[in-house]
Structure formats: structure tokens, C-alpha cells
């Protein structure tokens, strides 16, 4: 029986909020400076993992709002559970453009969970997203594959998550050098990313 890769727990979400704020280079302004002089944070696009949904980010969205992010500055992608990562990456591209358009931001931050790391990296590295993304964050991401995915190999997303998948080979085994900052958080207690260190991404800031 397939296990759903659970959304991030609350304490990890608290940590990632801090990461996004720091990676963006500016926290929401809360002082008495003129509104025109206040610096807004980068809008945030959230990408869930295999068999997840945008509702899995509800606690994280609430934390971002508590930090001063406006509703218009946060977006969460939803995609079918049987969709390929390439198709999801194209959806991410559309959602990223929409988020930038409505906030008038030149660049955004992307926070991904589990399989969302693959599709969001594909957007950055194959669909031109790197020019539009300031910080990319992977939370328990399938960055170098997981043998767990062999258990559901009949499904396209699972075939793309195994360590030998063609999409992972296309993306390469490290974060590209460029303006986008890459960071990956992983846990030695993770039961979905096997081996657990495969949640790391060489060349990124790994925690």
C-alpha cells in the first residue's frame, strides 16, 4: 500500500519561515517609515509533494501571514497526483508568472516539499525560472531520488523519483551556480527519502 509523503511538521515550518525571510534579503517592514520606502519581501510560491495538496501548507501560510506577508504575496500550487514533474513544472511556471504579475515583483521565492523539489528545480533549470527566483528551498526534497519510489514504480511520478530516473539525470547532481540561492533541509529520521542523505543537494546550503 502506498504511503502518502506527509506535509512538513509545524516546527519545521517555523524554521523554514525564518529561512525564507533571510533568503529573501528583507523582512516585511513594520516600522513608521513612509510606505513608499518600505521594502516588501519576495512573494512566496509553495509546491507540495507526491499525493499532497495546497492545503498541506495551511499552517505555513498562517505563519507567513503572521510575519507580515500579504495574502497576495503567497501562492500554493495544486497538481494532479499522477502528473509528471515536467507537466507540474509548466504549471509552476504559470503560477510563478501570475504571482509576479499581481505583486509587481521581479523575483519570487519557491518553497518545495518532497517531490515538489524535482518539479520546481525543473522549472528553475529547464524552463527559465532561475531568472525569476531569488531563493529556492527544499524541505525533505527528493533531490537525489529515493528507493522508496520503487514501491509505486508503475506510476509516472514514482518512476521520476527513483535515483536512476531520467529527469534527475537531466537536472544533474548539484545546484547550478547562479543568482538563485539554493537551500535544502533534511532529517536523519526521514522515512520517505531513502537513503536519507538523498534529500541533500550538493552545491546548495544543506541543513
Q: Is residue 58 part of a domain?
A: yes
Q: Give the pLDDT confidence score for residue 34 in this predicted structure.
A: 52
- The answer to whether residue 20 scores a pLDDT higher than 60 is no
Contact 205, 20 (CB under 8 A): no
pLDDT interval class at 181 (50, 70, 90): very high
Q: Is residue 125 part of a domain?
A: yes
Report pLDDT digits (tens) over 49-78: 999 999 999 999 999 999 999 999 999 999
Q: Which residues constitute the domain of residue 146? A: 43-206
Residue with cell 544543506: 206
CATH number, position 74: 3.40.50.1820
Contact 64, 34 (CB under 8 A): no
Q: What pTM value is reported for the model?
A: 0.85
More confident residue, 72 or 18: 72
Q: Is residue 17 part of a domain?
A: no
Q: Is residue 149 part of a domain?
A: yes
| Structure-block grid coordinates of residue 204 | 546548495
Report pLDDT digits (tens) over 22-33: 444 444 444 445
Q: How many domains does the chain have?
A: 1
- The answer to whether residue 142 scores a pLDDT higher than 90 is yes
Mean pLDDT, residues 36-56: 90
Instruction: Pick the closest to residue 192 from 96, 86, 49 (CA basis).
Output: 49
Instruction: Pick the closest to residue 182 from 76, 41, 23, 73 (CA basis).
Output: 23
Q: Is residue 192 part of a domain?
A: yes
Mean pLDDT, residues 182-193: 95
Q: Is residue 31 part of a domain?
A: no
Q: Is residue 111 part of a domain?
A: yes
Q: Give the pLDDT confidence score for residue 164 in this predicted structure.
A: 95
Amino acid at each position: 500500500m502506498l504511503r502518502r509523503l506527509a506535509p512538513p511538521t509545524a516546527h519545521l515550518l517555523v524554521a523554514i519561515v525564518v529561512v525564507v525571510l533571510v533568503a529573501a534579503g528583507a523582512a516585511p517592514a513594520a516600522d513608521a517609515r513612509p510606505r513608499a520606502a518600505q521594502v516588501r519581501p519576495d512573494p512566496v510560491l509553495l509546491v507540495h509533494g507526491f499525493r499532497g495538496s495546497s492545503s498541506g501548507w495551511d499552517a505555513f501560510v498562517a505563519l507567513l501571514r503572521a510575519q507580515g506577508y500579504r495574502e497576495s504575496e503567497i501562492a500554493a500550487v495544486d497538481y494532479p497526483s499522477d502528473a509528471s514533474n515536467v507537466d507540474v513544472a509548466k504549471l509552476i511556471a504559470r503560477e510563478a508568472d501570475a504571482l509576479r504579475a499581481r505583486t509587481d515583483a521581479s523575483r519570487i521565492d519557491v518553497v518545495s516539499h518532497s517531490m515538489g523539489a524535482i518539479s520546481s528545480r525543473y522549472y528553475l533549470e529547464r524552463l527559465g525560472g532561475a531568472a525569476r527566483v531569488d531563493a529556492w528551498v527544499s524541505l525533505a526534497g527528493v533531490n537525489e531520488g529515493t528507493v522508496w519510489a520503487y514501491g509505486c514504480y508503475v506510476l509516472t511520478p514514482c518512476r521520476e523519483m527513483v535515483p536512476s530516473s531520467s529527469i534527475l539525470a537531466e537536472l544533474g547532481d548539484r545546484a547550478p551556480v547562479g543568482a538563485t540561492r539554493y537551500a535544502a533541509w533534511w532529517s536523519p529520521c526521514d522515512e520517505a527519502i531513502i537513503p536519507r542523505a538523498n534529500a541533500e543537494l550538493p552545491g546548495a546550503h544543506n541543513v
